[in-house]
Structure 1
Amino acid sequence: MADARPLLFFDSGVGGLSVLAPARVLLPQAPLVYAADSAGFPYGTRSEDEIAARVPALLGRLAERYRPRLIVIACNTASTIALAHVRAALDIPIVGTVPAIKPAALLSKTRTIGVLGTQATVRQPYVDKLAAEFAADCKVIRHGSAELVALAEAKLRGEPLDPADFTTVLDGLFSQPGGESIDVIVNACTHFPLVEAELAAAAPHPVKFVDGGPGIARRIAHLTAGQAWPDSPGEGIAVFTRLDDSVSRLAPALAAHGLARIEAL
C-alpha cells in the first residue's frame, strides 16, 4: 500500500527550500511539508538556550499534526544547537544540516576556505571540529551575516536587491587576513544558496560555492530506500508559525517548489 506520510522540512524562514529542492528531484513522489518558524525568525541572532528549547517544542507539535516519516532540520543554526535535543525528544528519523567544510576542502586549491553563515553558526564549536577533521591543512575564515538571510528572504518575496549589499557581506570574508586567497566559500546557512548568483557576481575574483543541500537529499533517499510512496505527491504544504503579508508575498516562490497550500501552526 502507498504510504502518504510526508517528508517534513524545518527552518526559521524559507532558506530550507535550498534543501527541499534537491530532495524533491531525487524523490519526486514524496509528499512534502515545509515548516517555517516565522514567529521566531531569524535564528541566527537568538540565544542558544532559546533555540535549544524552541526547536524541539515546535517539531513536536509539527510531528503530531503531520505525522512525517522523516524530519529534516534544514537550518544550520538549529542543527548545530538543537539537533541532539530533537533526536532525544522524537522517535522518528531526524536529518540535520552541517556546514559543507569537507567538500570545500576537497575543492580548494589555495587551501583557504571561507565559511559564510549566521553569527550563531560560525561561532559553534562544531564548526571548529569540522575544520580540524576535514580541513586541517586549510586556513578557514568565517563571517556571520544576518543581513544575507534577510536578502535571501527578500529575493523570494520578489523584492529588488542592491548588488552593493552582497559586496558588503563578502567583504566580511575577503577583508580578513588571508582572505584574498579564498577560492571556495561554504554557504553555511540554507538561505545563502538562494542568492548564490548574486554572491558570485559580487565576489572580487572567481570562487566556488558549496552547500549541504545535495548531500542531505542523498541522505534522505538512503534513509527512505525501499519505502512506499503514493502515486502522486499531492499538494505540498507550507506551514508558518505566524502568517502575515510577507508570507503571502512568498506564495509564488513556495508554489514553484511544489508547496501550493499555506497553513498556520
Structure 2
Amino acid sequence: MFDSGVGGLTGLAELRRLLPHAPVIYAADMAGLPYGAKSEAEVAARVAGLLGRMAERYRPRLITIACNTASTIALGMVREVLETPIVGTVPAIKPAAALTRTGTFAVLGTQATVRQGYVDRLEAEFAGGKRMLRHGAGGLVTLAEAKLRGEAVSVAAVRAELAGLLAQDGAGDIDTLVLACTHFPLLEAELREAFGRDITLVDGAAGIARRIVDLTSDQQFTRTGPDYAITTGSLSDFQTLAPAFAAQGISDLRKF
C-alpha cells in the first residue's frame, strides 16, 4: 500500500476489516511529501520510479496507490510499466452525486488533484445535472500528519483551509463533501466543526478495500512474518508516527 505519507492508513483500516489476514507492506514516500504542490511531471516520474523499485524488491502480489493525487496523475503510466495488478484511488464523485439532496456537492483535495482531467471526466460521467465545486486544500495534509504525531490541530486552522471553498458561489448549498485525499478523513471531526453545519463526508477507503478483495478473491493469504512499513525519508522522523502504525498492527518501521 503506497502513499505520499500516512493518509493511506485510512484505506489500510478498511482493508484490515475485510481481509485481516492479508500481509501488508505500507510504503510512505515521506521524502516526496507533499505531492499536491508538485507538477504532474514530477509526480508521474517519482511514483513510477519508486513503485518500479519497490515491486522489484518486495515482489507484491498487488499494489494499491492509496493517494488521489498519485492515482489521478500516474495510475495509467504505472499500469503500463508494471505487470503487478494495481488498485488506484480516485475521488468518490459517483457516490457523492448520488447522495446529495440539494444537488450541490464539493470535491476537496490537493491542488494537483482537483485540476486533473481525470476529475473532469468523473464529473461529466457521474455528476450530470448536479453542481460540483472544487477546492485545493493541500495544507490539510500537513495538519493531518501533525494530528497523527499527537500534535494539537485547531479547528481555526482547518477552517482557514476551507475558506476558499466556502467563498465560492453556491457553497451555501453544499451538503456532501468528497474527501479526495486519503489524509483528509483523519481530520473528520475538525472538518465537520469547521464547516459549521451537518454535512455528509464521502471518501474512497471502503471502495479501495472492496476492490482489493475482488482482485484477490481466489487467493490464499499466509503471513510469514509481521507486517511492516517503509519510508523514503528520515527513519527517526517516521518513528514519531509509531502509535498511528501500531493502531493498524504495524510495529516494524524501516528505511527504504
Quickly name the TM-score band, shorter chain normalised. over 0.9
Runs of 4+ in 1 over 6 A off after TM superposition: none
8 A contact 1:235–1:259 mirrored in 2? yes
CA distance in 1, matches of 2:105, 2:196: 15
Is 2:137 the counterpart of 1:141?
no
Residue type of the alignment partner of 1:117: G
Q: Pick from 9, 26, 35 the counterpart of residue 27 of structure 2.
A: 35
Match of 1:5 in 2: none
In the aligned structure 2, how far is the partner of 1:28 from the partner of 1:233?
14
SS in 1 for 2:36: helix
Q: How high is the TM-score relative to the length of structure 1?
A: 0.94
Name 1:176's counterpart in structure 2. Answer: 168
Distance 1:233 1:15, change over 3 A: farther
| CA distance in 1 between partners of 2:70 and 2:225 (Å) | 28
| Aligned residue type for 2:253 | I
Write the mapping of 1:187-226 to structure 2, written as runs, cut at 5 A.
187-226=179-218
Deviation at 1:245, TM superposition (A): 3.9
Counterpart AA for 1:58: L
Aligned to 1:75: 67
Report what 2:48 is aligned to: 56
**Counterpart in the other structure of 1:4:** none
Shift of 1:169: 1.8
Find the aligned partners of 2:101 and 2:237 in 1 and give their Cα distance.
Answer: 41
- Output the TM-score relative to the length of structure 2: 0.97
Deviation of the 1:203 alpha carbon: 1.1
Q: How many residues align?
A: 256
| 1:158-201 deviation per Cα after TM superposition (whole angstroms, max 9, x unaligned) | 11111101111222222100001000000000100111111012
Amino acid at match of 1:167: R
What SS does the corresponding residue of 1:259 show, helix, strand or coil? coil
1:24-173 correspondence to structure 2 within 5 Å: 24-173=16-165
CA distance in 2, matches of 1:43, 1:31: 27
- What secondary structure does 1:250 align onto? helix
CA–CA distance in structure 2, aligned partners of residues 98 and 173 of structure 1: 20
Unaligned runs of at least 5 residues, structure 1: 1-8
SS in structure 2 of the partner of residue 249 of structure 1? helix
2:238 matches 1:247: yes
Moved more, 167-176 or 134-143: 167-176
Q: Tell me how far 1:242 sits from its aligned partner.
A: 1.1
**1:21 touches 1:257 (CA, 8 Å); kept in 2?**
yes
Structure 2 portions without partners, runs of 5+ = none
Which amino acid is 1:53 matched to? A
Deviation larger for 219-228 or 254-263? 254-263
Amino acid at match of 2:239: S
1:132-153 deviations in Å (ceiling 9; x for gaps)? 1101111111110121000000
What is the percentage of aligned positions where both structures have the same residue?
59
- Alignment-mate amino acid for residue 80 of structure 2: A
CA deviation after TM superposition for structure 1 residue 244, in Å: 4.4
CA distance in 1, matches of 2:16, 2:225: 13
Secondary structure in structure 2 of the residue aligned to 1:116: strand
Contact 2:155 2:194 in 1 (8 A): yes
Kept after mapping to 1: 8 A contact 2:30/2:232? yes
Distance in 2 between the 1:133 and 1:111 partners?
15
Letter of the 2:242 counterpart? A
